[in-house]
């Protein structure tokens, strides 16, 4: 629901159930998800912890078989939602993408990305024109000297006169665009730098907090300039980063065990009418990534 393509999410693995074990074990996955088009998914969620290189998922083969049996018995397509915690990346994959090694089904992060079906839940990449800037503007009329230290140095008290949000140097005024820009600054994954601006007398005029992507070389800089935008993280990663910042400290320590999600929060950030506007200051591109490996069942 947070990404806009889900009608219902239901916990599937709670409560009692009874089954005929003549054909083996069955095991309910974590969630049943009903999409807007009525399709039903059975989703097992796995956290891939950063142990070793942290770039391979490993699940007991017997558990996968039992989950597949449950899906066949109750209806719904079984998928695995893998959270690669080192990269803060979600992938949604069909069990057929795993490879059997001994008693375990294994899947590399690379293969998971190739088979990723997070688009089913409404996930996608956002892009916009860099940089995004949060500018704190000083009220020059209320600036005053607090203490003179000698040798021309002094301490001054500054008063904030206002704040501005800018996209590629353009001031954002629409409330929903400002809200989206602020969200992207906080959770978009771009690097932040701080720049101070002074007048000819050395008095502080404003502080700029500038958010822009890290580009490895001049080729990447030219490519970004030619295409006119730069990628942010996926919607699912943005939402995950927001969640983690709510429940952990800057040092990574847990400060809350739960954070109730707000349904459709990301879908509401970019309303459908946003794309129809002719004069958007904050220009947004949205890309839906399709899996390179087709594992979807045939349509009847």
What's the confidence (pLDDT) of residue 193?
96
Average pLDDT over residues 121-141: 92
pLDDT at 259: 72
CB 54 within 8 A of CB 82: no
Predicted local confidence at residue 60, as pLDDT: 97
Mean pLDDT over 136-159 rounds to 79
Q: Residue 140: pLDDT band by 50, 70, 90 thresholds?
A: confident
Model pLDDT for residues 264-275, shown as the tens digit of each residue:
666 677 877 888
pLDDT at 147: 77
Tokens of 280: 């958007």
More confident residue, 3 or 83: 83
The mean-pLDDT minimum among 31-35, 237-241, 258-262 falls in 258-262
DSSP state of 291: P
Average pLDDT over residues 95-123: 95
250 has a pLDDT exceeding 60: yes
pLDDT, position 3: 66
**Encoded tokens for 170:** 């353009």
What is the predicted pLDDT for the residue at 1?
A: 47
**Using 50, 70 and 90 to split pLDDT, how confident is the model at 248?**
confident
**39 pLDDT above the threshold of 70:** yes
55 CB burial (10 A radius; 0-12, 13-18, 19+)? middle
> What kind and span of H or E run contains 193?
strand 191-198
- What percent of the chain shows pLDDT beyond 90? 53
- Give per-residue pLDDT as tens, 204-243: 899 999 999 998 888 888 888 899 999 999 989 998 888 8
Asked, as a colleague might, if the bond just before 131 is cis with ω within 30 of 0, I would say yes
Cα–Cα distance, 205 to 158 (Å, whole number): 10
Mean per-residue pLDDT, 165-193:
95
Model-level pTM?
0.84
Q: What is the mean pLDDT of the chain?
A: 88
- The two beta strands, 77-84 and 89-93, are antiparallel
Alpha helices in 143-282 (DSSP H): 175-187, 218-227, 235-247, 265-269
Which part of the chain is CATH 3.40.1350.10? 6-123
Closest by CA to 177, choosing from 285, 265, 282, 264, is: 282
Q: What is the mean pLDDT of residues 155-169?
A: 90
Q: Report pLDDT for 108.
A: 94
CATH, range 6-123: 3.40.1350.10
């Amino acid at each position: 629901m947070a990404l806009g393509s889900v009608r219902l999410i239901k916990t599937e693995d709670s409560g009692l159930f009874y089954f005929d074990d003549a054909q083996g074990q069955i095991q309910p996955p974590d969630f049943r998800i009903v999409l807007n088009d009525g399709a039903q998914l059975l989703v097992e969620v796995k956290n891939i912890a950063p142990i070793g290189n942290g770039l391979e998922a490993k699940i007991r083969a017997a558990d996968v078989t039992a989950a597949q049996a449950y899906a066949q018995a109750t209806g719904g397509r079984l998928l695995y939602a893998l959270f690669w915690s080192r990269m803060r990346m979600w992938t949604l994959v069909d069990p057929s993408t795993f490879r059997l090694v001994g008693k375990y089904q294994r899947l590399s992060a690379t293969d998971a990305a190739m088979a990723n079906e997070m688009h089913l839940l409404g996930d996608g990449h956002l892009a916009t024109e860099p940089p995004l800037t949060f500018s704190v503007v000083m009220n020059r009329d209320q600036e005053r000297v607090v203490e003179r230290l000698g040798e021309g140095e002094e301490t001054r008290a500054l008063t904030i006169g206002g704040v501005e949000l800018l996209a590629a140097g353009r001031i954002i005024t629409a409330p929903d665009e400002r809200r989206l820009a602020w969200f992207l600054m906080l959770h978009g994954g771009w690097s932040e730098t701080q720049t101070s601006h002074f007048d000819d007398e050395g008095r502080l005029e404003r502080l700029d907090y500038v958010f822009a992507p890290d580009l490895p070389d001049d080729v990447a800089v030219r490519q970004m300039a030619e295409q006119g935008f730069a990628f942010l993280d996926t919607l699912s990663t943005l939402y995950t980063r927001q969640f983690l910042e709510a429940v952990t400290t800057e040092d990574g320590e847990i400060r809350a065990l739960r954070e109730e999600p707000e349904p459709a929060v990301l879908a509401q950030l970019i309303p459908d009418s946003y794309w129809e506007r002719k004069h958007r200051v904050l220009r947004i591109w949205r890309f839906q990534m399709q899996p390179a490996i087709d594992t979807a069942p045939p349509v009847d």
